[in-house]
Structure 1
Amino acid sequence: MHKRHLLRAAAAAASLALAGAAHAQAPAFPPAKPITLYVGFAPGGAADSAARLIAKKLGENIGHSVVVENKAGAGGNIVHQQVAQGPADGTVLLFGSIGPLTIAPHMMKVGYDPFKDLAPISGGVHFPNLLVVHPGAGIKTMADFIAAAKKAPNNVSYASTGNGSASHLTGELFASRLGTEMLHVPYKGGAPAMNDLLGGRFTGYFSAPPTSLPHVEAGKLIPIATTGLTRPSYMPNIPTVAESGLPGFEALNWYAFVASAKTPAPLLDRYNTELVKVLNDPAIREALSKHGLSPHPTSRAELADFMQKESAKWEKVVKERNIKPE
């Protein structure tokens, strides 16, 4: 009997020890150190504006410091590699983007695998491109644009924010659907591309709406079509490409929250809960809408599935159009 009691006592002690160890190993939320949300683009753009709105509200909700840090370079690929190889203690988040996550890996060696080295947390924001043209191009509708593009190879020129960028791949997908060639003119960012379009140096630009809408409203550019499947609420009078001659055409710009794949699952789950809460906040949704951005909160699994589909879509375009790094 005494031996049986000793065995029970030993088992109970072992159980308590294991429970204590599990409790000790459970990651703290929020982490003790400040949280850094990295953005792979320069301050002032759509990604930066969205990240700062969301980070501020996230910090307020969890009662912890959330700092946005911009690390531009190589279309965002540099910071994606940094986060993939960086701390996995919940102190580092990334506002990942379409290019580094689903386009660049099909064009070049990027030093990270988006699906092995980075973990999905939640969708962030989506927005369509807006095709705008210079008034001097003599194009006023999508029918005019298509006719000009089909007239002869490279008869139409379009700008992008860089080789392999979302604006570049949108143009390539468009040309592929038309069965023609358009002259691609890459720039190092949206601002220089827009300046040259305003100067009439090329035909059009699949731009981010926040970049081009002020010039549309000023009468300096003509809006031709948006690249989502439906018309955005803030551009109800501008048709989509899909309803203007290319059924089913869709090319979205998007940003999503990811972290190092080594980050403990409980931390990733907690971040998902908090970020979904922020993105569903009416004030945040309204603020993002003013920047031409649509909140897109998802579960972690939904984001993983979305990224896989986007990756397959753009891999096909990269191969069909033989797109190479600069």
Structure 2
Amino acid sequence: MRRTSFLKIIAALACAGLLPSVHAQGAVDKQLSSQPFTIVAPFPPGGPVDTLSRILATGLAERYKQPAVVDNRAGASGNIGIDLVKRAAPTGHTLLVVPAGNLTINPTLMPKLGYSVEADFATVASLAKAPNVLAVNPSVPARTVAELVALSRAKPDSISYASPGVGSGLHLAGELFKQQSGADILHVAYKGSAPGLNDVLGGTVPMILGNLPALLPHIQSGKLRPLAVTDPTRASALPDVPTLAEAGVPGVAVTSWYGVVAPRQTPAPVLAQLARDITQIFNAPATKAQLEKQGLYVWITTGPAFGELIRKEAATWAPIIKSRKIEPQ
């Protein structure tokens, strides 16, 4: 193609709004370069939300030559940090990194939540996902999911499972497993993942449904025995562990994921640029390798598609919450 013809096509696409103009792109870059960034992580340091927030902060700081800090605003099941971002100026400089449950479960579980995902936030992108693992203390005689289900039926109320709280994604995954497998298991709710995991490691509670990043070190050391993963596909970190579907329990494809949202009125061009930045930051080979060592896998969905993902997952959890009469405690 001749150079003049190519330039005419590019110009026509720009006039039709199919390509961003150099001027518009320059304005977005200038705006995002104008002040520091705050990445709000509404949970304590040390977990996946904190890890992903720090990667995002580092990437934005390098891209825009501005400071980018992570603000760990823990409390009220993440609602303190969420409210902070809800009220922030919609410039693209204050972003929220959250797990799926805050966007897909809590709006149904907590009618008086204080925020609406659609009314108060603009979707930017998902970041990563982490398979969930069904694991037991090695003292439990079951070595397969089928053996666990049979054991729970033979000895009712003998098998309980730990979760990080009533209405958490892992609690609902347990209820879905119970429904689909017919297992006779009891739910034991904790205030967070760590205390529940400690009790399973100590043998007080025999079973746990947990995120792979939290359970992986204990699986590798032999302190936990993995029976299945709840992801639709096997985890590369646990290639010999079957999915629940492979283990004979279909319909429990539950994956923990994490994403970024911004205040609702953030301009569309800014959201689009942030989505492109996130895609570049998290798809860097070194970043992907770093996260995979922790059991996290880069998983990018941006803009309206990310919003649709949230809506579909919320619609999946709502009937389970209502039918099982799950209420916050």
TM-score scaled by length of structure 2 = 0.87
Q: Is the 8 A contact 2:28 2:270 kept in 1?
A: no
The change in CA–CA distance for 1:210 and 1:299 in structure 2 (over 3 A counts) is closer
In 1, Cα distance between the equivalents of 2:151 and 2:320?
Answer: 22
In 2, Cα distance between the equivalents of 1:287 and 1:64?
Answer: 24
- Corresponding residue for 1:30? 32
- Corresponding residue for 2:9? none
In 2, Cα distance between the equivalents of 1:199 and 1:192?
Answer: 11
In 1, Cα distance between the equivalents of 2:323 and 2:157?
Answer: 17
The change in CA–CA distance for 1:316 and 1:31 in structure 2 (over 3 A counts) is farther
- Corresponding residue for 2:53? 51
Tell me how far 1:31 sits from its aligned partner. 4.7
- Corresponding residue for 2:224? 221
5+ residue gaps, structure 1, are 1-21
Identity %, equivalent residues:
39
More moved, 54-63 vs 257-266:
54-63
- Corresponding residue for 2:315? 312
Deviations 1:78-136 (A, max 9, x none): 32232123221222101122111110111112100112211100111111111110112
The change in CA–CA distance for 1:26 and 1:230 in structure 2 (over 3 A counts) is closer
Q: Is the 8 A contact 1:120 1:304 kept in 2?
A: yes
- Corresponding residue for 2:242? 239
Tell me how far 1:212 sits from its aligned partner. 1.4
Name the SS for the 1:115 alignment partner.
helix
> Which of 291, 301, 304 pairs up with 2:294?
291
5+ residue gaps, structure 2, are 1-23
Tell me how far 1:147 sits from its aligned partner. 1.6
- Corresponding residue for 2:3? none
Q: Which amino acid aligns with 2:134?
A: L
Name the SS for the 2:149 alignment partner.
helix
> Which of 116, 119, 127 pairs up with 1:116?
119
The change in CA–CA distance for 1:263 and 1:154 in structure 2 (over 3 A counts) is farther
Deviations 1:249-289 (A, max 9, x none): 21111100101111111211111111111121111111111
- Corresponding residue for 1:101? 103
- Corresponding residue for 2:197? 194
- Corresponding residue for 2:208? 205
Q: Is the 8 A contact 1:124 1:254 kept in 2?
A: yes
Map residues 90-169 of structure 1 onto 2, 5 A cutoff: 90-108=92-110, 109-151=112-154, 154-169=157-172
- Corresponding residue for 1:3? none
Q: Is the 8 A contact 1:143 1:245 kept in 2?
A: yes
Deviations 1:164-207 (A, max 9, x none): 11211111111122345531111122221111111111121111
Map residues 58-77 of structure 1 onto 2, 5 A cutoff: 58-77=60-79
Q: Which amino acid aligns with 1:263?
A: T
Tell me how far 1:243 sits from its aligned partner. 0.9
Q: Is the 8 A contact 1:27 1:264 kept in 2?
A: no
Q: Which amino acid aligns with 2:47?
A: G
More moved, 294-303 vs 52-61:
52-61
Tell me the C-alpha RMSD between the 2 structures. 2.1
Tell me how far 1:50 sits from its aligned partner. 2.2
In 1, Cα distance between the equivalents of 2:161 and 2:310?
Answer: 26
Tell me how far 1:247 sits from its aligned partner. 2.1
- Corresponding residue for 1:174? 177
- Corresponding residue for 1:87? 89
Q: Which amino acid aligns with 2:50?
A: D
- Corresponding residue for 2:259? 256
Tell me how far 1:28 sits from its aligned partner. 4.2
More moved, 25-34 vs 215-224:
25-34
- Corresponding residue for 1:10? none
The change in CA–CA distance for 1:153 and 1:306 in structure 2 (over 3 A counts) is farther
Instruction: Pick the structure with greater CA Rg.
Output: 1
Tell me how far 1:153 sits from its aligned partner. 5.2
In 2, Cα distance between the equivalents of 1:48 and 1:142?
Answer: 32
In 1, Cα distance between the equivalents of 2:179 and 2:73?
Answer: 33
Name the SS for the 2:295 alignment partner.
coil
Q: Which amino acid aligns with 2:319?
A: K
Runs (4+) of structure 1 exceeding 4 A deviation are 25-28
The change in CA–CA distance for 1:147 and 1:53 in structure 2 (over 3 A counts) is same
In 2, Cα distance between the equivalents of 1:26 and 1:197?
Answer: 50
Q: Is the 8 A contact 2:180 2:250 kept in 1?
A: no
Tell me how far 1:49 sits from its aligned partner. 1.5
Tell me how far 1:248 sits from its aligned partner. 3.7
